[in-house]
Chains A and B, each alone.
Chain A
Amino acid sequence: MPNGYEPAASSDHRRPSRSGQRTRAAVTAVVGAAVVVVLALPMFASDFTVYLAATTLLVAASATSLNLVLGYLGILTMGHAALMGLGAFAAGLSTSELDLPFLVVIVVAGAAAGLIGLGVALISLRWQGIYVVLGTLALQFIALYALHRIQNGVVGPIGFQMPTPEVFGFEINSDTRWYYTSAVLAAATIAVVALLTRSHIGRAWVALRRNPLAAGALGINVTRVTVLGFTIGSVMTGVAGAVSGYFTRTVAADTFTLGLTIEYLSMVLIGGAGTLAGGLLGAVFYTWLPYGVNFFVERLPESWTTLRNHAFAIENAIFGVTIIVVLLVEPGGLMHVGSRLKARASRALRASGARRPDAGEPTKRRGGERYDDHDAHGLRRSGWGPTRRVTHWVATLTSSASRLPVRRGTSTSARSDLRSEEGLVLDAVDVVYRGTIHAVRGISLSVGPGEVVGLVGANGAGKTSTLRAVTGFLRVEHARVGGRIELDGRSLTNFPPYRVARSGVVLVPERDKVFGELTVAQNLSVAPVRSRTFDLDNIRSLFPPLAARWNQRAGFLSGGERQMLALGRALLAGPRVLLVDELSQGLAPRALEEISRALGRILDRGGLSALIVDQNAELIMQLAKRVYVMEVGRIVRSGGVEDFVDTRQLQAAYLGERAVVQP
């Protein structure tokens, strides 16, 4: 189907759509070709290339193990190198002291790292956030110290000398053989991660990372599942460390420093946290970068001695800059660049089919993806929490600065037939999510100075998207906003949220957008008071229930009180236009009455205009003078509230029974 997911035609949930089949065929072809190249590589590549490829694959195995913990479980671990070291030392000890065969050593190494990982997980995963980081950091330092002691006690400063591994009489003694061994290890690691993340266990990981509370209510034992994931990651890390030890022929404690952990973390971030191939891509980048840099540096003119002597510095600089660029441009890592290109290609394919997207259903999947591919949806979109948040912030800052002059220019040109250029004006505003879902289709509306305007519509009509387009929050969600948004003739289009707020357009968010850990008073003081009309005392007298709980934590407030708090905070920001989103949601009749009366009083004072978005027609009738009715992304009706004889008719208007109210 060109647009949208297919209705389930059969009970077989895996039945692919036609475009899915095409994509799958393409994927199979590409993967098949890649496998052939990988298998045949030693036949045509130089010894050095084969050696480097073997290294890459070993690094990839380790990075993939880390990706399980970092990308899928969302644990920022600092003990990765330590776990590799523990695996390698377990291998060193069991070969030098016990002379165990390769395959047994691998099992021992995995078990050793797994046990330590289990212990660390049991202790530190009870904590959250920064404390987990500290817990794993402790693992890194303590383990490294222990490794040094063991090394000095058993073999001395040179470290363990590893024998040539032997599997059922087959010696792994050449680069080519090592290459295949590493390929098997990397493939096995990726396969384990793939199988786990696509199972019910992987689904639980996604859920608990997004919302541990809700996950618990679904019967997921959050602690158990997290510890399980960390332990599996540790086992695989230990195995990778042990095999790498055999490969390099020496195991020494100096290798497994915090620096190595950081390098692996960077690799995973660059390659794509929470994606299957992320570890592999990161490993390729990390391993081949030095040789790439050398290749160019060697070709520089003889006289450029400074640069020629600092290849290492150049390499480090490129590595660092790449991390920053990747995080800024594509927080999902290199892996996402690929999937984005794929999505673009399939969009182009669809567009050539020349079908307009169906307006009624803002629901579809991206081309060619199987819907049971939850790691694609869940993880790809959530990405790596903290990084992404920081990135948005940085991106917001940088892009707004550069766009400002351009927008000013356009805003003075095109004029439309809107009632007024004063106040808030939306002109032909479009909102498109992820390039495919057209939520708002060229709507134009205005809110004059001092005017109170309602925006109503059924769920999914695009009301909230419209608000979010104005407030600038959409930029954060891979959404594109088109058209013109102005306040008093000055453009707000594509401004970041904080600039929209500072210019006087202030959102009163849906409930639960208060800081639960802060008191009511602290919540009100989070942002500086910009209002000339309202101060903290005004808020106290406007909302007596808030005054009564002034020094209590906002987390203990009821729904109605939270809504009051949100409204109070918005007023202190010095709004000229108040955007009120679903004020009535979840409020008891009496609480709604109370808060809408307060809002009515505030608006009656004049000087403040408001755009009120709500499902509650009664509230709109009470507060607004003019109403816009939205339906599937368009404004289908507008007029004074008096045009709608009563609440019932207004409701009927946006619930689709428009015949009733045609004037």
Chain B
Amino acid sequence: MTAPADHLLAVRDVALAFGGVVALADVSLHIRPCELVGLIGPNGSGKTSLCNVISGLYRPSAGSVRLNGEELVGRRPHEVARLGVARTFQGVETFGMSVMDNVLLGRHVHWRSGVAGVLARSRTERAERRAQFAAAAAALDALELTRHRAAPASDLPYGTRKRVELSRAVAMEPKLLILDEPTAGMNPTDKAEIATLIRRLNRDSGLAVLLVEHDLGFVRNLVSRLVVLNFGRVLAAGATDEVLDDESVVDAYVRG
């Protein structure tokens, strides 16, 4: 095992069960800073469960999850988010707000003003508000959403809404971004666009990404390292091309 010092995220021997159904068993993986890692596996192999464990929605029965050496297990989701883990969910949730408000929601973790500041409209509160709007505008720009900023997000096509979620996550300025099936239900054009955006985010801001995805072509083009789950266990892990050439992976995943 590599020294944990160069691991941004270290998941070690995580186990999780739902009323007798084993969802995860002895799962270990790590992500280095600025790394793009893919997580694939058949439906029901535990990918989303693992994401939920990392982001604090599920508490594993054993194992540890550390971000920069800090234990995440036992922390509540909002604490994990504040430590620097942002995530998107399968499907979209835009809270019935405008695009801009969604992205501002992503800035929530960075907001310092309290009720008193808001009610007094103090100088610091107004300055902060301006700064947060500027940061949100930058996040919108990064995902090429500026022209949609005023639109109610729910009126936008699916692919664009997915981008709103991505922009909201980016606005949190996370250390690690977990994307749970970002391209589900997208057509090839949208997929290519999302791939470009993810690559750019990774390159420009050094954002580490854990990408859960079914589209193997999409994964192959995007990530350098791949972890394969099958029946809640790590079936294979390593460089993307090697893993995808592995017979057992192909068997479990692609062949019926």
A585 and B81 form a contact (CB under 8 A): no
Q: A222-B78, A560-B44 are in contact. Are A512 and B108 (CB under 8 A)?
A: no
Q: Does B123 belong to the interface (CB within 8 Å)?
A: no
Name the A residues within 8 Å of B38 (CB-CB): none
Report the minimal beta-carbon distance from B10 to chain A, rounded to whole angstroms.
21
B101 and A372 form a contact (CB under 8 A): yes
Residues in B128-158 with C-beta less than 8 Å from chain A: 132-134, 137, 146-152, 154-158
The contact of A11 among B137, B185, B214, B255, by CB within 8 Å, is: B137
B78 and A382 form a contact (CB under 8 A): no
Q: Does B1 belong to the interface (CB within 8 Å)?
A: no
Report the minimal beta-carbon distance from B177 to chain A, rounded to whole angstroms.
12
A365 and B152 form a contact (CB under 8 A): yes
- Distance in angstroms between the alpha carbons of A594 and B18 in the assembled complex: 25
Name the B residues within 8 Å of A232 (CB-CB): 115
B43 and A558 form a contact (CB under 8 A): yes
The contact of A561 among B43, B148, B151, B152, by CB within 8 Å, is: B43
Name the B residues within 8 Å of A204 (CB-CB): 105, 108
Name the B residues within 8 Å of A222 (CB-CB): 78
Residues of B participating in the A interface, judged by any CB pair closer than 8 Å: 18-19, 21, 23, 40-45, 55-57, 76-78, 81-82, 86-87, 89-91, 93, 95-98, 100-101, 104-109, 111, 113, 115, 118-119, 121, 132-134, 137, 146-152, 154-160, 168, 172, 181, 184-190, 214, 216, 252-256
Name the B residues within 8 Å of A201 (CB-CB): 115, 118
Report the minimal beta-carbon distance from B17 to chain A, rounded to whole angstroms.
10
B77 and A437 form a contact (CB under 8 A): no
Name the A residues within 8 Å of B93 (CB-CB): 210-211, 214
Name the A residues within 8 Å of B23 (CB-CB): 556
B216 and A8 form a contact (CB under 8 A): no
Residues in A476-526 with C-beta less than 8 Å from chain B: 510, 512
The stretch of A123-131, A141-149, A192-200, A467-475 in contact with B is A192-200
- Residue of B at shortest CB range from A365? B150
B100 and A203 form a contact (CB under 8 A): no
Report the minimal beta-carbon distance from A309 to chain B, rounded to whole angstroms.
49
Q: Does A299 belong to the interface (CB within 8 Å)?
A: no
The contact of A590 among B86, B151, B185, B256, by CB within 8 Å, is: B256
Q: A377-B96, A512-B91 are in contact. Are A200 and B155 (CB under 8 A)?
A: no
Q: Does A316 belong to the interface (CB within 8 Å)?
A: no
A13 and B97 form a contact (CB under 8 A): no
Name the B residues within 8 Å of A377 (CB-CB): 96-98, 101, 152
Looking at chain A, what size class is its interface with the partner chain? 35 or more
Report the minimal beta-carbon distance from B73 to chain A, rounded to whole angstroms.
16
Residues in A408-439 with C-beta less than 8 Å from chain B: 433, 437
B78 and A220 form a contact (CB under 8 A): yes
- Distance in angstroms between the alpha carbons of A195 and B122 in the assembled complex: 12
- Residue of A at shortest CB range from B181? A586
Encoded as 1 (CB less than 8 Å from any B CB) or 0, chain A from 213 to 253 comes to 11111111110000010001000000000000000000000
Name the B residues within 8 Å of A459 (CB-CB): 157-160, 185-187, 190
- Residue of B at shortest CB range from A14? B133
Encoded as 1 (CB less than 8 Å from any B CB) or 0, chain A from 316 to 338 comes to 00000000000000000000000
Report the minimal beta-carbon distance from B70 to chain A, rounded to whole angstroms.
15
Name the A residues within 8 Å of B254 (CB-CB): 589-590
Known: A200-B111, A588-B253. 16 other contacts (CB 8 A): A7-B146, A196-B115, A206-B97, A207-B95, A210-B95, A210-B96, A217-B55, A219-B78, A365-B151, A371-B150, A372-B100, A459-B186, A512-B90, A558-B42, A587-B214, A590-B252
Q: Does A362 belong to the interface (CB within 8 Å)?
A: yes
A586 and B90 form a contact (CB under 8 A): yes
Q: Does A460 belong to the interface (CB within 8 Å)?
A: yes
Q: A201-B115, A217-B55, A459-B160 are in contact. Are A591 and B105 (CB under 8 A)?
A: no
A-B contact pairs, 21 of them (CB 8 A): A8-B147, A11-B134, A195-B118, A201-B118, A206-B97, A217-B57, A218-B108, A219-B81, A220-B78, A222-B78, A228-B115, A365-B98, A459-B157, A459-B160, A460-B160, A512-B91, A560-B44, A586-B214, A590-B254, A590-B255, A654-B187
Q: Does A450 belong to the interface (CB within 8 Å)?
A: no
- Distance in angstroms between the alpha carbons of A462 and B234 in the assembled complex: 40
Report the minimal beta-carbon distance from A468 to chain B, rounded to whole angstroms.
14
Q: Which of A372, A561, A593 has the most CB of B within 10 A?
A: A372
- Distance in angstroms between the alpha carbons of A200 and B114 in the assembled complex: 9
The contact of A588 among B41, B76, B111, by CB within 8 Å, is: B41
